[in-house]
Amino acid sequence: MADFESDYTKFMREWKQKHPEQAEEARKGRALWWDKPPRDLDTQRREQEAKVATKSYYYDAN
């Protein structure tokens, strides 16, 4: 059973071999959307102090 490989896995392996430039594009996309630079401690402290407590019932007007 360890030799099984799905059609999708085969397709992606072949596609990556035919389009090696896409690996760099994927890294750029990840950096754009997910990888954030570390913030300094002062910025973290100011963000923490600026937080407003959320009400237990969000739609309550009072």
Q: What is the pLDDT of residues 28-54, one digit of tens each?
A: 999 888 888 888 999 999 999 999 888
Spatial separation of the C-alpha atoms in residues 10 and 3, rounded to whole Å: 12
Residue 1 pLDDT: 57
Position 21 scores a pLDDT of: 93
Report the mean per-residue pLDDT for the chain.
89
Say whether pTM exceeds 0.75. Answer: no
